[in-house]
């Protein structure tokens, strides 16, 4: 007589599968937001580096004859300075002082980046928003305590978070150079005490 052969196969119970799914879900909930944030921060820094590089290149082309911004400017109006830089940049749109909000800048006055009402603005082809605040009355050739003004960059345009140190950064204007906020001894740091105003320099250097 043939003997009956039986086999006993082991497998996961429903309870074990559910526990595994719960654990996987908890881990995903804890790690995915952090991964997304890190990816976004990396994208912001990459766009900042590209935009700053474009500005530096434009500055070099403008000052090729070893002149200065101050000597080139017929007046210190923000619109004129913006147009000077835009002559060497690729851009989509520009907005004159007093009409930038909702056109070339966010509708809201961004955290730590308000008071831009009198600035001129432009949108570059890479999607960055720029505002320009230029005043040659305090202009100096190299970094000391006096700049010719500043450029504010929102690297992802209208999109959130619209916060200084995240997607908004500042660039100092001097007669013959541009320097990021937080460089040398400008008193700006990448900390909450300074509202992260000085984050441009460490991000551009790393």
d(CA 31, CA 35): 6
User: Does residue 28 have a pLDDT over 70?
Assistant: no
Does residue 3 carry a pLDDT above 90?
no
Is the pLDDT at 194 greater than 80? The verdict is yes
Which pLDDT belongs to residue 169? 95
What are 48-93's pLDDT values in tens digits?
Answer: 999 999 999 999 999 887 788 888 876 778 999 999 999 999 999 9
**Residue 124 main-chain phi, psi, to 5 deg:** -80, 165
Q: What integer is the mean pLDDT of 116-122?
A: 90
Q: Which of 11-15, 84-88, 168-172 has the lowest mean pLDDT?
A: 11-15
Q: Would residue 103 be called left, alpha or beta, if left means φ above 0 and alpha means ψ between -120 and 50 degrees?
A: alpha
pLDDT of res. 144: 56
Q: How far apart are the first and last CA of the chain?
A: 80
| Cα distance between residue 134 and residue 79, in whole Å | 9
pLDDT for res 51:
97
- Count of C-beta atoms within a 10 Å radius of residue 153: 23
- pLDDT of 85 reads 94
């Amino acid at each position: 007589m043939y003997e009956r052969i039986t086999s006993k196969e082991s497998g996961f119970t429903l309870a074990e599968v559910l526990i595994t799914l719960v654990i996987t879900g908890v881990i995903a909930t804890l790690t995915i937001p952090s991964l997304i944030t890190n990816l976004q921060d990396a994208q912001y820094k990459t766009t900042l580096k590209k935009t700053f590089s474009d500005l530096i290149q434009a500055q070099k082309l403008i000052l090729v004859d070893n002149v200065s911004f101050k000597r080139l400017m017929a007046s210190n109006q923000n619109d004129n300075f913006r147009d000077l830089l835009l002559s060497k940049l690729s851009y989509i749109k520009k907005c004159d002082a007093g009409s930038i909000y909702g056109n070339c800048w966010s509708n809201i006055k961004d955290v730590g980046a308000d008071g831009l009402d009198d600035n001129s603005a432009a949108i570059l082809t890479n999607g960055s928003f720029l505002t320009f605040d230029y005043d040659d009355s305090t202009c100096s050739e190299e970094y000391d305590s006096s700049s010719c003004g500043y450029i504010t960059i929102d690297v992802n345009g209208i999109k959130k978070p619209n916060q200084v140190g995240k997607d908004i950064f500042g660039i100092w204007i001097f007669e013959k150079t541009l320097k990021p906020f937080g460089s040398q001894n400008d008193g700006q740091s990448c900390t909450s005490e300074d509202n992260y105003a000085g984050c441009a320099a460490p991000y551009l250097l790393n």
